Structure 1
Amino acid sequence: TSMKSHIEGKQGSQNLLELPDDLFSEMPWLTLIHFAIQQSVSVIPPLTGVPNLQALTLAWMSAVHILPPFDNVPDLQRLTLVYLPQLERLPDLAPLQSLVNVIIARPSHICCNGFRGSCDLSDNYCLIDPDLGIPAATCLTDEPFLGNVGTQEAFEAFTSTICQKLSSDSVQASVPTTEEIEMCDDRPFGQCQISDGSIGICYNTRMQVLACLASDTYIELRRFQIEKGVGQACDPVLEKWLGCGE
């Protein structure tokens, strides 16, 4: 038996203040952890009791500076870190011999503070952000990757998904508005229109609530599923615009 932990806050709310230190002390069945939009949480509890963990996602957690050691999660396959602007360093990744994907999406201090090599405090993601209360980064005095060869090798293996810049538009678009949610109430894959007039599709992304998403990629994906007869059966009324029933 496996279980998943998905805890996502609400944008603009206070949400959780902290997590119990022993939260992951006895969860041998847990295979996935997803924490997101928890701006006040600064410490991720030790991963001491989740030996079967396969995926760890942390997103929109601006107070997190470091992560707990990975010594006790040898089966971890996917590590996804999105918008952790104050993340300074990572523990040794050498214990993670089953990794198939590592994503670190900027902004994140780890991308420019010297953890990966040279320190570049002129990088946009190392500058102070007073609107979000994010201080400027400082250069680490440690050697690159904290001297951990396994970490360096992981960064080299997944270089295409580590510290690649995102436009401000793409970051903002990942958080649905109340209007985008309400127009898609109980209308999965329905057609919708966002405030700028763009046509979108009612879709769930990153385990978020159903909301209007102006994305040609997701629209074409659903059309392809309907054409090939794969995935969720289409609704001939709601999804006529996507070719259902033709």
Structure 2
Amino acid sequence: MEYTFVYGRNLPPASHIEGTTFSSLPDDMLDDMTALTFMHLGVHPQMTRLPSFRGLTRLKSLTLAQLFALIELPSFESLQHLERLVLVSLLTMESLPDFAPVKNLKAFVTTDRGAWCCNGFIGKCDLQNAICGLHPLWGAPAVSCTEKRATAATLAVTEESAATICGGVIMPGVAEGSPTEAGMEQCNGTLYRQCEEPGYAEAICYNARFMGIACSTSPFPVEMRRRQIAQGRICDSEYEAWLGCK
């Protein structure tokens, strides 16, 4: 279930909150949400802090995305049942909470930069690391070193999840921005048809993150659809011949 531009306080067990209207949330907002098992909070670029997680005693999956001003996460003390943690474009976050209370974590994934990846929190401060400079897409400033240090439990989790955290930054042309009117007009509501963008050899009509179908220059949906068609997925030859549909 997804909520976009939501002002309500009471949420059902599975919730997805996304929009640009929130700069802050009440600290006790989640206190009574003991039934909540899934939460996705995304695209609140001005939000500097999150509500306490103390009420989320049954939470299993937590995704936080594009909270560009967020410095740190609340304590994980009540997240004993957390199994999946995904952090996307939390560019300025300097540290991670103590993971000691989290006993059942099965997946920890980050996409794009987190300052904690290279500011010395989990190891040596490495300001020469390419992911720590001025962000090429979002414009976040370069990272500076911190005196904060990860706990033993947090270090253990980051070491175990090394393959899925602290990868490269998202580059221009890879991340999907909001659809434009011109991009949507080209596509006219048709997925996977070919469209045109100046400076790009190919572009595809695609609805990234369930937004409107618009012209996208990202190579990933193009490759995805070609592979699907090659494996026998039903396709429309009128619009998808350029992708190998016959």
Matched, 1:96 2:102: yes
Correspondence 1:214-233 to 2 at 5 A: 214-229=217-232
5+ residue gaps, structure 2: 1-11
In structure 1, the residue corresponding to 2:69 is in which secondary structure?
coil
After superposition, the CA RMSD in angstroms is: 3.1
Cα deviation digits, residues 32-89 of structure 1 (max 9, x gap):
3223331111111112333333322222222100001222223323222222222011
Name the CA shift for 1:133/1:227 in 2 (closer, same or farther; >3 Å): closer
Matched, 1:159 2:185: no
Corresponding residue for residue 199 of structure 1: 202
- Of 25, 33, 37, 1:19 maps to 25
Residue 29 of structure 1 deviates from its aligned partner by 4.1
Amino acid at match of 2:16: S
In 2, the alpha carbon distance for the partners of 1:31 and 1:189 equals 34
Corresponding residue pairs, total: 233
Amino acid at match of 1:214: T
Name the CA shift for 1:192/1:160 in 2 (closer, same or farther; >3 Å): same
Corresponding residue for residue 5 of structure 1: 16
Cα deviation digits, residues 114-149 of structure 1 (max 9, x gap):
1011123454555578x978565443323x31xx22
| TM-score calculated relative to the size of structure 2 | 0.77
Correspondence 1:1-246 to 2 at 5 A: 2-9=13-20, 15-123=21-129, 126=132, 137-142=143-148, 144-145=149-150, 148-166=151-169, 168-169=171-172, 173-178=175-180, 179-229=182-232, 234-235=235-236, 237-244=238-245, 246=246
| TM-score calculated relative to the size of structure 1 | 0.77
Amino acid at match of 1:36: G
Residue 95 of structure 1 deviates from its aligned partner by 2.6
Corresponding residue for residue 12 of structure 1: none
Name the CA shift for 1:196/1:87 in 2 (closer, same or farther; >3 Å): same
In 1, the alpha carbon distance for the partners of 2:41 and 2:64 equals 5
Residue 156 of structure 1 deviates from its aligned partner by 0.8
**Contact 1:5–1:30 under 8 Å retained in 2:** no
In structure 1, the residue corresponding to 2:81 is in which secondary structure?
coil
Amino acid at match of 1:175: G
Greater Cα offset, 64-73 or 191-200 = 191-200
In 2, the alpha carbon distance for the partners of 1:132 and 1:169 equals 9
Amino acid at match of 2:83: Q
In 2, the alpha carbon distance for the partners of 1:227 and 1:128 equals 40
Residue 176 of structure 1 deviates from its aligned partner by 3.9
Amino acid at match of 1:34: H
